[in-house]
Structure 1
Amino acid sequence: MPTIELRNINKEYSSVDDEQTLALKNINLQVSDGEFVCVLGPSGCGKSTLLEIVAGLLKQSSGEIILDGKVQFGTSRDIGVVFQDSALFPWRTIRRNIEFGLEIAGVPRPERRERAERTIDLVGLGGFADKYPHQLSGGMRQRAGLARTLVADPQVILMDEPFSAVDHLTRLTLQDEIIRIWQQEKKTVFFITHDVAEAVYLATRIVLLSPRPGRIHQIFEVPFERPRSRNDAEILNIVEKIYISINNPPADQTEYFI
């Protein structure tokens, strides 16, 4: 059974003069339990819009989101979101930032502390729990943002270009970390990126969107065992295939990845 099913998702925006802009068109996709699916596409193609719809933060114009066989309306505790910006509260320590959602949910303090400590260790922030966000590097803040999502134990983790704001070397390290956590925790991951190499390194499957209106142009299977080498010939072959697809737009698409 698919963990998430998107059925005929369309999203239109209205301008001040009532003109309609189609952001997403006829998105149909199934994401099975335990998959790591990357959604790849150019800026403005609707990747983040799609993630917000799946998260229940934005309502689609038409279509349905199915979560474990049930139509989804609004947000769900089974779905956690990691955004581009870690958005930590600067006046709270890392531990108390991670505990925040549990605190709001009324989880008793001893349980909050135990779950937060486990998650801090999981994301590699041991020794930094009592620091404040401004005392941490960008990569560490992003780990804290991930921990804040993981501590609630969601079934599905949505990630919206979470490594885009860090330097290249930190990005590579965080890619390895998210794979380790995914394998250990056995979550379903729906990961938004515009980086082809990142998508191929991380994903079990890649969904390539066309420019606006975002449509599924092609889906690539990435069946290779882990750990993967970024310079492996099979990996580079998939990267090449994606770039070939990027340069061969749908017949009715006049502009593509510009």
Structure 2
Amino acid sequence: MPAISIKNINKTYIDQDGNEVQALHDINLDVAEGEFVCIVGPSGCGKSTLLEIVAGLLDATSGEVLLDGQPVHGTSRDIGVVFQDASLFPWRTVRKNVAFGLEIARVPKEEREERLKRYISMVSLNGFENKYPAQLSGGMRQRAGIARTLAMNPKVILMDEPFSAVDHLTKCTLQEELINIRQAENKTVLFVTHDINEAVFLADRVVLLSPRPSTIQKIYEIPLEQKRGRSDPLLLKIAAEIAKDINSGGQDIPNNYWGNL
């Protein structure tokens, strides 16, 4: 049974001018347990909208999301979310931010301490436990946000462009760390990004959404081990194919099109 099943999802909303806009059209996707799936697509195609529906933060117009075969209604502790902004409480230290969900869930103190130690170490924040968000770099704040999500031990982690606000070198480091975390925790991950190279470097599959109203335009298998080289010829080839397909908007492009540019 897939960890996450997205079935016939449609989303329509009314824009500021009173016009009906269809953001998502008949989205169907199964994400297997332990699988890492990236969603890419042109700007404004509804990637984040789809993720919010899966998270239970936004209602679909029609269709349903299943977690382990059960319908998702509202938010769930089994689905963790990491956003672009780590959204840490500025008045709480790293340790207390990571502990926040555990406190709300009334996790026993001994178990809470074990989880804090494990996940703060896993995201390389040892020595920064008592720092406040204002004392941290952007990458460190995002690490703390990831640790906070991991500490709740969700079955599925949803990530919405979590590394887009940091510099390139920090992004590369965070990507490597995420691969290590994924291997250690064997979590199911659904990851939204506008960065094609990031998608092919991280994912088992990359899902391309078409321009609005978004459908699944194409799915790309990444037949490589999780530990990858960024310059692997196959990754570069798949990334180039995705870029070509995004630019085509789902339309066929002549074979000699790119050579004539």
In 1, Cα distance between equivalents of 2:19 and 2:2: 36
Deviation of 1:18 after TM superposition, in Å, equals: 4.0
Partner of 1:208 in structure 2? 208
Deviation of 1:241 after TM superposition, in Å, equals: 1.3
Partner of 1:149 in structure 2? 149
- For the Cα contact (< 8 Å) 2:3–2:32, is it kept in 1? yes
Deviation of 1:66 after TM superposition, in Å, equals: 1.0
Deviation of 1:28 after TM superposition, in Å, equals: 0.4
Q: Which moved more, 1:237-246 or 1:29-38?
A: 237-246
Q: Which moved more, 1:186-195 or 1:218-227?
A: 218-227
Partner of 1:67 in structure 2? 67
Partner of 1:224 in structure 2? 224
SS at match of 2:3: strand
In structure 1, the gaps of 5 or more residues are 253-258
In 2, Cα distance between equivalents of 1:20 and 1:45: 15
Alignment of 1:182 with 2:219, yes or no, is no
Alignment of 1:192 with 2:192, yes or no, is yes
Deviation of 1:19 after TM superposition, in Å, equals: 2.2
Q: Which moved more, 1:32-41 or 1:9-18?
A: 9-18
Deviation of 1:240 after TM superposition, in Å, equals: 1.5
Partner of 1:86 in structure 2? 86
Distance 1:128 1:219, change over 3 A: same
Alpha-carbon displacement from aligned partner over 1:222-241 (angstroms, at most 9, x marks no partner): 01113211111111111111
Deviation of 1:16 after TM superposition, in Å, equals: 5.2
Residue-pair matches, total: 252
Question: Where in structure 1 do 4 or more consecutive aligned residues deviate above 6 Å?
Answer: none
In 1, Cα distance between equivalents of 2:17 and 2:122: 50
SS at match of 2:238: helix
Task: Output the aligned Cα RMSD.
Answer: 1.3
Alignment of 1:241 with 2:202, yes or no, is no
Counterpart mapping for 1:1-258 below 5 A: 1-15=1-15, 18-251=18-251
In 2, Cα distance between equivalents of 1:153 and 1:176: 21
Q: Please give the TM-score of this superposition, normalised by the length of structure 1.
A: 0.95
In 2, Cα distance between equivalents of 1:221 and 1:179: 17
In structure 2, the gaps of 5 or more residues are 253-261
Q: Please give the TM-score of this superposition, normalised by the length of structure 2.
A: 0.93
Between the two proteins, what is the percent identity of the paired residues?
A: 63
Deviation of 1:17 after TM superposition, in Å, equals: 5.5
Alpha-carbon displacement from aligned partner over 1:116-137 (angstroms, at most 9, x marks no partner): 1111011111111011111111
Alpha-carbon displacement from aligned partner over 1:192-216 (angstroms, at most 9, x marks no partner): 0011100000000000011222211
SS at match of 1:146: helix
Match for 1:161: what amino acid?
A: E
- For the Cα contact (< 8 Å) 2:179–2:226, is it kept in 1? no
